[in-house]
A and B are shown apart, each in its own frame.
Chain A
Amino acid sequence: MNLFARCAIALTSLTASGAVLADDGSFFQPKTVMFLLFVLATLALTYWAAQRTKTAKDFYTAGGGITGFQNGLAIAGDYMSAASFLGITALVYAQGYDGLIYAIGFLVGWPIIMFLMSERLRNLGKFTFADVASFRFQQTPIRVFSALAGITIVLLYLIAQMVGAGALIQTLFGMSFEFAVVIVGVLIIAYVTFGGMLATTWVQIIKAVLLLFGATFMAVGALYLSDFSFETLFQSAIDKHAKGEAIMYVGGLVKDPISAISLGIALMFGTAGLPHILMRFFTVPNAKEARKSVFYATGFIGYFYILTFIIGMGAVAFVLGNPDYFNADGSMIGGKNMPAVHLAHALGGDFFLGFISAVAFATILAVVAGLTLAGASAISHDIYANVINRNASEKTEVMVSRVATVVLGILAIFLGIAFQSQNIAFMVGLAFTIAASTTFPVLIMSMYWKDMTTRGAVIGGYLGLISAVVMVVMGPNVWVQVLGNAQAIVPYSNPALFTVAIAFAGIWLFSITDKSERAQRERALFDAQFIRSQTGIGAEKASEH
């Protein structure tokens, strides 16, 4: 079972337990107060952002005026989900060193994004990654493909986030699952519809700062109790953990070389194909700020993953064995994903538990807002304004985007409730696999390979999409664990190694065999695209305000 499976199962298992943490019945607990403060602050922020969101450029890219440092924080806020904070600390708590292996996988895509993509994305794109992918190609087929792949990724990711969010908020704040999901949906609709990318960006920045601050406090707290010695911290963890010294080594999560490499490919190149992440590169004024934002993002995300490891080990040392945090049957109160939350309480009492609960909520909102905006943009910019109605005014396009946001928000609420007790463990893994096999190959080939044509891009992209879906469905995570069959048809839970290869091979084969006149024209346009991607001449500028 992979990490995604573990995270999602742990998150969904919360719903079954129905446990409520440290609820003394009073409304004015620290966590409720901090939760309300966060909601009020973000709504005020949305009001401010709404005054500044008028044009399509404002709505999709915050006017292109976000600095590299701000965007670096926002990327970190967009990427570090509640599943990675709670999921990776829980994985370290359960498995030790193996948790660090996964954390590394989530980080190593970032340098690749910087070296091969960030500057070119900024120089070629306008509002969505499809602007880049379709730069010199026929608009309709590439836009439709990009939107379809993008929305599929967004929906899978969104369902996983909503179900996890409902369960987490239910546990932390004692609300019903449905009510929690509705709150998340309504807040997201408010942020994105009125405040567009500007509100989304600042929600992500605030969340990143809160999360980094909270995680730092917890790591320092765990080290403080260990006299600031890793030796002491690890020794107390080894003494308490059932696996003993084995938590310090590579465990059983990585079984065979094919699965290991395949997982690495899904994590590394999937990161480079996530629509809500790619969209962030159009919010900065130029290529220089684009690459700077990846530098800061890599620093923040890397720092965060080092902290999650210390926090996980801290939870072994200071939560494991403390009867306050366990049910009578020995299971952890609130479910398997709660070690970080309990450690917050062990280190900083009710006040800090409240803070971390509010941070977890903020984390969910920031990620879901980014996803919703990316999905709405695919509908309004790629499908509506570039396929259905090419003469649409900017005003109409923004209007469509706002309507799409509301629809997606409501859809997210329904999907969250519909999938509440389903096994959704495979969804984030599938989203990464699809991103690595669709948007990533089409984007990278369109930017680097002169001979690519519309036919190659579309057929290769769809082959990647279909093979990713089929191989994951026939693999152990869906075929056995969801559908209940005894034996998986595809033995690998991460088929990215094959599906990414299929996509690239498809793009190559159906491009070089494309002898049409249109293909010749598209190849001839490469020079102009390449010069713009290198120099930024002709690139979109930031708006003046």
Chain B
Amino acid sequence: MNQQQIEKIKSLPQYQQLVKERSRLAWQLTFIMLIAYYGFILLIAFAPEVFKIVVLGNTITLGFPLGVGLILLAFALTGIYVRKANRDFDRMNQEIRDEVQL
């Protein structure tokens, strides 16, 4: 890439939109994961008695849906990102490449 191409790509609306949308989604999902995980950690540190609440039958405590839910959340978030990227980001990226013939 030379300076001219760099300026050209930076000025493309598709490029600006791609960067904006991808950054927004990536940071949103990152914050969800950070808040969920460190929320869980802080709950363990400050309110461990919450984990003693029995939610199902006689033995299954709140800790289980929380813990397993966190694992499923992590997987679901990666799925959301891949879905959005496959559907929109790749198309936008291809438009940029077509535009600058690279």
Contacts and interface: CB of A to CB of B under 8 A. Distances in A.
A111 B78 contact: yes
A386 B72 CA distance: 42
B67 A100 contact: yes
Given A97-B51, A231-B60, A254 B15 contact: no
Contacts, number: 150
A101 B67 contact: yes
Interface stretch (A134-142, A186-194, A533-541): A533-541
Contact of B68 (A231, A306, A527): A306
B90 A115 contact: no
A260 to B, nearest CB: 5
Contact of B51 (A231, A249, A298): A249
A302 B71 contact: yes
Main secondary structure of the interface of B (DSSP, over half): helix
Nearest to A230: B60
B63 A111 contact: no
Contacts of A103: 71
Contacts of A306: 68, 71
B93 to A, nearest CB: 6
Contacts of A256: 45
Contact of B42 (A257, A292, A294): A257
Nearest to A114: B78
A110 interface: yes
A537 B15 CA distance: 12
Interface residues of B, number: 54
Given A116-B30, A257-B46, A535-B15, A250 B51 contact: yes
Given A291-B85, A292-B82, A260 B1 contact: no
Interface in A245-277: 245, 248-250, 254, 256-257, 260-261, 264, 268
Contacts of A531: 1, 6, 9-10, 15
A299 interface: yes
A104 interface: yes
B13 interface: no
Interface in A487-545: 527-528, 531-532, 534-538
Nearest to A108: B37
Given A97-B63, A108-B70, A260-B41, A534 B10 contact: no
Contacts of A249: 48, 51-52, 61, 63
B55 to A, nearest CB: 11
Interface in B47-100: 48, 51-52, 56-61, 63-64, 67-68, 70-72, 74-75, 77-79, 81-82, 85-86, 90, 93, 96-97, 100
A305 interface: yes
A108 B1 CA distance: 36
A116 B40 CA distance: 22
Q: Is the interface of A mostly helix, strand, loop or mixed?
A: helix
Interface in B1-59: 1, 6, 9-10, 15, 18-19, 22, 25-27, 29-30, 33-34, 37-38, 40-42, 44-46, 48, 51-52, 56-59
Contacts of A528: 1, 6
Interface in A268-298: 268, 288, 291-292, 294-295, 298
A534 B18 contact: yes
B1 A537 contact: yes
Given A108-B74, A288-B90, A299-B75, A248 B96 contact: no
Contacts of A537: 1, 9, 96-97, 100, 102
A298 B33 CA distance: 13
A234 interface: yes
Contacts of A295: 75, 78-79, 81-82
B35 to A, nearest CB: 11
Interface centre among A111, A116, A294, A305 (most CB of B within 10 A): A111
A114 B71 CA distance: 15
A472 B58 CA distance: 42
Most chain B C-beta atoms within 10 Å of own C-beta, residue among A257, A527, A534? A534
A294 B59 contact: no
Interface of B: 1, 6, 9-10, 15, 18-19, 22, 25-27, 29-30, 33-34, 37-38, 40-42, 44-46, 48, 51-52, 56-61, 63-64, 67-68, 70-72, 74-75, 77-79, 81-82, 85-86, 90, 93, 96-97, 100, 102
13 contacts: A104-B70, A230-B60, A231-B56, A234-B60, A248-B61, A249-B51, A257-B46, A261-B41, A268-B37, A295-B81, A295-B82, A534-B15, A535-B97
